Structure 1
Amino acid sequence: MARPFRPFAVTRAGPNDHLGVLLSTYATSVILAATEGHEGEGGFHTPSITDFFPSAILFEGTIFQIDRLWIIRIIATIVLLSIFVIVARRAKVVPGRFQTGVEYLLSFVRVQIGEEILGKDNAKRFVPMLTTIFFTILAFNLTGVIPGLNLAATSRIGVPLLLALWVFVTYWAVGIRKHGLGGYLKANLFPPGVPWPIYFILTPIELLQILIIRPGSLMVRLVANMVAGHIMIVLCFAATQFFVVDSAGTGLMAFGALTIPAGIFVTLFEVLVAFLQAYIFALLAAVYISMSLEDEH
């Protein structure tokens, strides 16, 4: 006899797996039932993609449209520039904690990204670019966990696209200047030591990589992480609002003891991701530039 189709069956599941499935199903059922029971009274509001497209404040429907995310980017830029101006004007031979922190990050980008990937000679040319990329992404990412802003300025495609295009133009310009257009394309599209029939497969892939995959991966990785982080933070604190406030006096309040620490943990984790994504973007930018400077790839 044929075995019945079980779409949710778990192969070789142990007791803990079944317990996890039961708890997850129960929690989902409780939330859905409570949400239905609170229709018209607020209910549980989940985050959605509309969070990243707030209503226009000025110039609605034009290319100069100003919304909340645009203002967040301006605020982050002003704060970032103010920090560097203050540190530069008040720099001391024996730095304080604030100056030490800023200088540590500057040194980190210069040494651990620029010199480590490009070498000391080449790093001098590109450290300003890498530093700008790192601090811009870091500042824009951190707006997602700052009360009152609560939305990463890199969670919409504009800024990541602009930075990715900057990297794209740079590694093409560097490669063409070093090898000439023909030499650069030959080094990238026709790697030495490969049997010539393989070029029919390899060359289109390499062309797609230097045109689309490299800048696209930089852009998509950054946006996806910031969008996911925002959704997780909002989901945790929206659940806390629902369980603790909207469901006050019911048995659902106990779930708030889980969602509150979960929200704090996700927020701290998002701070780590903000630093990590700034580092990865700047690191890959240095790697791509380094590949353009090499004679063979």
Structure 2
Amino acid sequence: MRTTILITSPDQWTAPGLELFEFSPIFLGGPEWLTKPVLIALLSSVIVIAVCWAAYAKPKIVPRGWQSVGEYAYTFVRDQIARPSLGKDADRWMGLLLTIFLTVLVWNLMGVVPFIQFPVAAHIDFPLALALSVYGIKLHLGVKHHGVRGYIRGIVHLPGLPGWAFALYAPIILAEVFITSLFTHVIRLFANMFAGHLLVAFFSYVGFWFLFEQLTPLGAGVGVIGVVVTIALTAFEMFIQFLQAFLFAMLAAMFIASGLHGSH
């Protein structure tokens, strides 16, 4: 495992920084893209596929074990994410939305798994790729069902709006649909995972430094505080990891609905 904490001298404490998110290739002389986050993302995909296979491959009338977990996840995504945005079209998109939710959730939870301890979504390339996929589906559905002109007209249409107000409103809403929505979809997930990982690393290193590296009577108290805050932050971070998976999937459902219905 690569070292991510930089120490300028044996007696000087240095806070962890952006080096936490910089990774060299796994193998010396190997491809630049084959880094730790890529391996974690591949492992996450294997986990999601394995869980879904165990839950849905051979369903029983009375669910048990992984099938119970799978049905709970399916019901949650259907009732809390798909149906509020997609209505009667929810069932058609459940495969995609369930996959998005589970994938982002496992990505995020990797940040608290021992010896892995890196949330994939804290590397912006991964949420960007997923958000771009949803963005492409939204545009495809909008043009397919409404045509280019009809799709744009449905986005900017607001009955009773005066001409001068429409001239201000139209560029803003078009920018929101075609630019800002993609940006917020990516940044909401990335920023939360990035900041959470940095905070947990900071306080865990405080505890490690003052309790093990430079143990002193005064510093021991600071180290204990670091450990306690790390535990509390880790628990809170797990809640945020679930919440961000939910929000990412919910936004995906909303964007898909906007393409289907031709509205913003």
Q: Structure 1 length as normaliser, TM-score? A: 0.80
- Pairing 1:238–2:240 present: no
Asked if structure 1 preserves the Cα contact closer than 8 Å seen for 2:55 and 2:68, the reply is: no
2:207 maps to a residue whose letter is: T
- Structure 2: distance between partners of 1:202 and 1:59: 54
Offset at residue 288 of structure 1 (A): 2.1
Judged with a 3 Å threshold, the aligned counterparts in structure 2 of structure 1 residues 209 and 253 are, in CA distance, closer, same or farther, namely same
Give the structure with higher Rg (CA): 1
- Structure 2: distance between partners of 1:91 and 1:294: 34
Which residue is 1:137 aligned to? 104
- Structure 1: distance between partners of 2:236 and 2:19: 23
Identity of aligned residues (%): 30
Superposed CA deviations along residues 201-257 of structure 1, whole A, max 9, x for unmatched, are: 222112211111111101011100000010011011100001111222331101222
Judged with a 3 Å threshold, the aligned counterparts in structure 2 of structure 1 residues 186 and 39 are, in CA distance, closer, same or farther, namely closer
What's the RMSD between the two structures over aligned residues?
A: 2.1
Offset at residue 136 of structure 1 (A): 0.8
Q: 1:102 aligns with which of 31, 46, 70?
A: 70
Count matched residues: 258
- Structure 1: distance between partners of 2:39 and 2:259: 37
- Structure 2: distance between partners of 1:179 and 1:39: 60
Offset at residue 112 of structure 1 (A): 1.6
Range with greater deviation from structure 2 (280-289 or 269-278) = 280-289
1:40 maps to a residue whose letter is: S
Q: Which runs of 4+ in 1 moved over 6 A?
A: none
- Structure 1: distance between partners of 2:10 and 2:144: 64
1:77 maps to a residue whose letter is: S
Judged with a 3 Å threshold, the aligned counterparts in structure 2 of structure 1 residues 173 and 89 are, in CA distance, closer, same or farther, namely closer
Asked if structure 2 preserves the Cα contact closer than 8 Å seen for 1:134 and 1:282, the reply is: yes
- Structure 2: distance between partners of 1:194 and 1:57: 58
Asked if structure 1 preserves the Cα contact closer than 8 Å seen for 2:25 and 2:35, the reply is: yes
- Structure 2: distance between partners of 1:109 and 1:92: 21
Judged with a 3 Å threshold, the aligned counterparts in structure 2 of structure 1 residues 118 and 259 are, in CA distance, closer, same or farther, namely same
Which residue is 1:115 aligned to? 83
Asked if structure 2 preserves the Cα contact closer than 8 Å seen for 1:43 and 1:242, the reply is: no
Which residue is 2:50 aligned to? 82
Asked if structure 1 preserves the Cα contact closer than 8 Å seen for 2:151 and 2:263, the reply is: no
- Structure 1: distance between partners of 2:259 and 2:24: 42
Q: 1:56 aligns with which of 13, 16, 25?
A: 25
- Structure 1: distance between partners of 2:241 and 2:97: 16
Asked if structure 2 preserves the Cα contact closer than 8 Å seen for 1:69 and 1:153, the reply is: yes
1:115 maps to a residue whose letter is: R
**Where does the alignment leave 5 or more consecutive residues of structure 1 unmatched?**
1-37
Offset at residue 89 of structure 1 (A): 4.4
- Pairing 1:280–2:247 present: yes
Which residue is 2:41 aligned to? 73
- Structure 2: distance between partners of 1:44 and 1:141: 28
1:128-277 correspondence runs (5 A): 128-277=95-244
Specify the SS of the correspondent of 2:26: strand
Which residue is 1:8 aligned to? none
Offset at residue 97 of structure 1 (A): 4.2
Specify the SS of the correspondent of 2:119: coil
1:4-23 correspondence runs (5 A): none
Which residue is 1:18 aligned to? none
